[in-house]
Amino acid sequence: MMLLMPLPLEDYVRQVLLENGRGAKIHEAVAEGWAAFQSLYPQRHQWRRKSSSRHMMWEEVAQRLAVIAADDQGIDAVEHQDTLSLIVEGAVLIRLKHADTTLITQNFPTAEARAFDDHEQDLFGYAGLQRVRLCYVLNRYETALLWVGIAAHDKGSFLWKLELEAAGAVQSIPQLPLPAPTEDTSRFARIKRSASDQDQANKKRNG
């Protein structure tokens, strides 16, 4: 009988990341990793392979995530499959990935990457874990860090996302890319009504 793995639950993942300020610490690890990567590799724009930048960025962030795990009894850092995973509260498995603004991973879609989102598969031998990705999004020219958060998928279909913030909040956000702000037309209507009312008042005083 095949044991079905649980789908990632947004509320549960949010809760475990709020505990001990984990969401803020993970955001800080990614932000510091990005800053270190920029400082250590000023020649990165001359590299012929974009994957080189992603590999070095991964190393900087993974190093800092391992430190977080060492200081938190509820997090285990597991080195396996040539990568690093964080297992939080024995229930949530997190892997770091570079993503675009749709929160689709930029890594080559290997069989293992596809299996990661197939929650009917016990991918790493840890029964019952909810698998999600820690995603970081860069701008078009890869010169600025735009977004850090958690994304969950199921067999290629998007499930949900949580934004991680330096202030410690973990919140849902609208679908990336963010829509352009709309103009508040009611503001102009209020201005117009106020001007009309003023005209009427002036007429009464002069009449």
Assigned domain for 40 exists: yes
Residue 2 is assigned to a structural domain of this protein: no
Q: 50 lies in a domain? A: yes
- Structurally, the chain folds into a number of domains equal to 1
The verdict on residue 76 lying in a domain is: yes
Task: Identify whether the C-beta of residue 91 lies closer than 8 Å to the C-beta of residue 16.
Answer: yes
- Own/partner contacts of 179-186, CB < 8 Å, gap of 24 or more, are none
Residue 36 parent element (H or E): helix 22-40
Q: Is the dihedral of CA 170, 89, 127, 78 positive or negative?
A: positive
Q: Is residue 3 part of a domain?
A: no
**What strand order describes the sheet that includes 75-80?**
75-80, 83-88, 92-99, 130-138, 145-154, 157-164, 170-171
Residue 25 forms part of a structural domain: yes
Q: Is residue 132 included in any domain, yes or no?
A: yes
Evaluate whether residue 107 is within a structural domain.
yes
Global pTM reads: 0.76
Range of the domain at 164: 10-206
CB 122 within 8 A of CB 5: yes
Give pLDDT tens digits along the chain (207 positions).
445 568 999 999 999 999 999 999 999 999 999 999 999 999 998 999 988 999 999 999 999 999 999 999 999 999 987 789 999 999 999 999 998 888 876 555 667 767 778 777 776 777 789 999 999 999 998 999 999 999 999 988 899 999 999 876 566 544 454 445 444 444 334 434 444 555 555 555 555
